[in-house]
């Protein structure tokens, strides 16, 4: 029994270290999802992100699908020169992440 435990433990560590599967969506797919009411418009969620960091400038915004969840990834440069990465749930606008990039 001991060898089986030694084999499964490293396998469990490997699986835990595997990155989350995500894919970028193109603009046609984003428009379709928006028309179908599955995601909110980027414009409204971008306002929410900018309100968290007044005076920030938008660097990049992407729509991704992460394990079946649509997520807007927004990168900002704050007024004091710090790059931040925010992730918002594209369905309901819920903040998932806001950290220094």
pLDDT digits (tens, 9 = 90+) for 40-83: 999 999 999 999 999 999 999 999 999 999 999 999 999 999 99
Q: Would residue 59 count as lying in a domain?
A: yes
Which of 83, 68, 20 lies closest to 98 in space, CA to CA?
83
Does 5 score more than 70 pLDDT?
no
Tell me, what's the pLDDT at 21?
A: 73
Integer angstrom CA distances of residue 1 from 5, 11, 25, 65, 87: 7, 16, 46, 41, 44
Q: The whole model's pTM is what?
A: 0.76
- Longest Cα–Cα distance of the chain, Å, equals 61
DSSP assigned state of 1: -
- Return the number of other C-beta atoms located less than 10 Å from residue 28's C-beta: 8
Mean pLDDT of 4-27: 60
The range of the structural domain enclosing residue 28 comes to 21-100
Q: Would residue 66 count as lying in a domain?
A: yes
* CATH code assigned at 26: 3.10.450
Tell me, what's the pLDDT at 95?
A: 97
How many domains in the chain?
Answer: 1
Average pLDDT, the chain: 86
Q: Would residue 56 count as lying in a domain?
A: yes
Tell me, what's the pLDDT at 13?
A: 47
């Amino acid at each position: 029994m001991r060898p089986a435990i030694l084999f499964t433990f490293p396998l469990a560590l490997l699986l835990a270290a595997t990155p989350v599967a995500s894919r970028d969506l193109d603009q046609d797919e984003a428009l379709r999802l928006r028309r179908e009411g599955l995601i909110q418009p980027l414009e409204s969620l971008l306002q929410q992100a900018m309100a968290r960091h007044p005076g920030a400038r938008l660097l990049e915004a992407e729509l991704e699908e992460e394990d079946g969840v649509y997520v807007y990834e927004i990168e900002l440069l704050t007024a004091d020169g710090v790059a931040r990465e925010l992730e918002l749930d594209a369905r309901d606008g819920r903040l998932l992440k806001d950290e220094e990039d």
